Amino acid sequence: AIGPVKKICCIGAGYVGGPTMAMIAHQCHDIEVKVVDINAQRIAQWNSDELPIYEPGLDEIVKGRRDQNLVFTTEVDEAIRDADMIFISVNTPTKTFGVGAGRAANLEFIEKCARKIAEVSIGHKIVVEKSTLPVRTAEAVKAILAEATSGATFDVLSNPEFLAEGTAVDDLLAPDRVLIGGESDAAVQALVEVYAQWVPRERLLTTNLWSSELSKLTANAFLAQRVSSINSISALCEATEADVDEVAMAIGMDSRIGPKFLKASVGFGGSCFQKDILNLVYLCEYFGLPEVADYWQQVVTMNDYQKRRFVHRMVRTMFNTVSDKKIAIWGFAFKKDTNDTRESAAIYVCRDLLLEKARLSIYDPQVTKAQVVANLEAVFKNGDQEISNVSRQLIENNVEVVSDAETAATSAHAIAVLTEWDEFATADFEKIRELMQKPAFVFDGRNTLKSLGLEKLGFDYQGIGFSR
Ligand code: UDX
Ligand code: UDX
Ligand code: ADP
């Protein structure tokens, strides 16, 4: 028989594991939650004043429960042995080598967790897949756990996390739904009872294991598809004097379509969308469905086009050359309220501007210079190759990272808004126009400055999906 969950272990103290476990500890004081990671530096950060990730509201929750029923530690084996429920929340990056390179998920870290759990467990454990995974991964996890020599027994559940970065705490507090897939009713119920301590029961959805695994990739594919769909229409709007925000409003009021995720932009970024779609595409091919694979691939193709198109428009507008021009880059994170830059559209926009030999002055309220340089070096590297000296020089000579938006704009020919940070809309644009070269161009990749009337202040203002 499976009793109520008393001790939880979460393997992986990242963007998903950290906040999710903090919320469980916050809501369930009678559950002891241990978050473990092999990365000692990351654990030290979770135990320090400066948490490793920036998320509104997270500090309070972590610091409120830390060292009470929320522990961050590198003692992986002990935490697994003591727990009745073990979440696997490690990264599943895109494979960079071998079969499926560039598309398939690298399940190395998941498999290592399963082997570690098999090795050190005693008694009965409920193993919960939290990481985003290709459908049928639980089959491999079960097979590995079945080989445990200690006689330990296991149930495997799938419980994908749908939180978005920047709103992680709110999403965890009041999720649209919590999805739990499994084969054993008792194990499913044990996890249901954990979430039921704060999530209304009608939002706790239980399905079979495979539906749950597949729903995570599908949800991200649908969300990204909406962004690519509206971005495709933004290109048509620019050619026809239609306005994409008006079109989005008009279609979104159709309750069958709905208003969310229709914001045209310079392109979606983040650690999930592209990775998960490529993974879905690979899975479709693997299961012999090339037409389905092509269908979803197009969402990524459209996103690449949107990022390229933004730079083309900048160059064309600025008299077909940005060479040796200073361009202020406002925002580098993949969206506001996060310090995460993984797959940020800004990386690709900056790369293409550097290839045009522009000089970039980059400002983001949450992103460090080291992070910017690391991202740019990586994008110039082309896979596992060494970065060329030419590219390294280009970054060294043509990129500066500054600590406020005005400094970035000083003497600049153009501002490119790449992240929708609130502070950009409240900048002093009269002063900024004085600081800039004329004509003073503003290219708004998020349409966050659209309602400010910058044309009237003397800017040449262009956004996504409209022409003025
Ligand atoms: C459509 C639009 O809905 C309507 O707004 C527009 O004015 C005219 O075109 P209609 O073609 O009458 O309306 O029917 P609709 O309900 O949209 O269905 C179109 C087709 O899609 C049908 O064959 C329907 O069976 C199919 N469909 C619809 C599905 O297969 N699955 C669905 O979830 C919805
Ligand atoms: C996403 C999913 O939303 C979340 O459910 C899943 O768990 C992880 O992946 P996240 O990547 O954190 O979350 O951010 P999200 O808010 O989905 O935004 C993704 C990207 O799309 C961002 O670059 C954002 O700027 C862009 N976007 C989003 C748009 O360009 N337009 C929109 O209308 C919405
Ligand atoms: P996500 O966005 O999915 O949370 P992150 O990369 O932010 O991904 O976090 C995943 C964490 O999992 C990393 O901190 C990494 O060190 C940790 N990790 C990976 N493999 C293992 C393992 N075998 N044991 C413990 N921790 C691991």
Cα 3 to Cα 30, 65, 191, 193, 368, distances in angstroms: 14, 24, 11, 11, 46
Ligand closest to the CA atom of residue 299:
2
Q: Is residue 225 part of a domain?
A: no
220 C-beta closer than 6 A to ligand 2: yes
Residue in this structure with the two tokens 């290592």, named with its chain if needed: 112
Q: Is residue 254 part of a domain?
A: yes
Residue in this structure with the two tokens 């900024």, named with its chain if needed: 432
Ligand closest to the CA atom of residue 12:
3
Give the per-residue pLDDT at 2: 87
Give the per-residue pLDDT at 1: 75
pLDDT digits (tens, 9 = 90+) for 398-417: 999 999 999 999 999 999 99
| Same domain flag for 362 and 247 | yes
Q: Report how far ligand 2's centroid is from the alpha carbon of 157 (Å).
A: 26
Instruction: Tell me how many domains the chain contains.
Output: 2
DSSP string, 76-96: HHHHHHH-SEEEE----PBP-
| Same domain flag for 430 and 318 | yes
Pocket lined around ligand 3, Cβ cut-off 6 Å: 11-17, 36-39, 42, 76, 89-91, 109, 112-113, 131, 271
| Same domain flag for 61 and 187 | yes
Q: Report how far ligand 3's centroid is from the alpha carbon of 347 (Å).
A: 23
Contact between 304 and 330 (Cβ < 8 Å): no
Q: Is residue 212 part of a domain?
A: no
In the set 9, 28, 237, 272, the catalytic residue is: 272
Q: How far is CA 66 from the centre of its chain?
A: 25
**What is the interface pTM, i.e. ipTM, of the complex?**
0.93
User: Which residue among 77, 90, 106, 112 is best mutated to probe the pocket of ligand 3, counting the most ligand atoms within 8 A of its Cβ?
Assistant: 90
Q: Is residue 65 part of a domain?
A: yes
Ligand 3 atom with minimal separation from the 12 CA: 12
Domain that holds residue 352: 239-463
| Same domain flag for 255 and 301 | yes
Q: Is residue 194 part of a domain?
A: yes
Ligand 2 atom with minimal separation from the 266 CA: 30
Single residue among 165, 188, 207 that ends a domain in this structure = 207
447 C-beta closer than 6 A to ligand 2: no
Ligand 2 atom with minimal separation from the 271 CA: 11
Single residue among 153, 185, 207 that ends a domain in this structure = 207
| Same domain flag for 373 and 313 | yes
Contact between 152 and 116 (Cβ < 8 Å): no
Ligand 2 atom with minimal separation from the 16 CA: 7
CATH number for the domain spanning 177: value is: 3.40.50.720
Q: Report how far ligand 3's centroid is from the alpha carbon of 73 (Å).
A: 13
Single residue among 156, 187, 207 that ends a domain in this structure = 207
272 C-beta closer than 6 A to ligand 2: yes
| Same domain flag for 195 and 285 | no
Q: Is residue 92 part of a domain?
A: yes
* Token duo for residue 25: 């500890």
| Same domain flag for 188 and 244 | no
| Same domain flag for 192 and 243 | no
Q: Report how far ligand 1's centroid is from the alpha carbon of 260 (Å).
A: 21
Q: Is residue 214 part of a domain?
A: no
| Same domain flag for 247 and 202 | no
Q: Which stretches of the chain drop beneath a pLDDT of 50?
A: none
Q: Is residue 1 part of a domain?
A: no
| Same domain flag for 299 and 199 | no
| Same domain flag for 189 and 63 | yes
| Same domain flag for 244 and 112 | no
Q: Is 272 a catalytic residue?
A: yes
Cα 189 to Cα 5, 211, 252, 417, distances in angstroms: 10, 17, 37, 47
pLDDT digits (tens, 9 = 90+) for 271-296: 999 999 999 999 999 999 999 999 99
DSSP string, 253-266: TSTTT-STT----S
Contact between 114 and 141 (Cβ < 8 Å): yes
Q: Report how far ligand 2's centroid is from the alpha carbon of 337 (Å).
A: 12
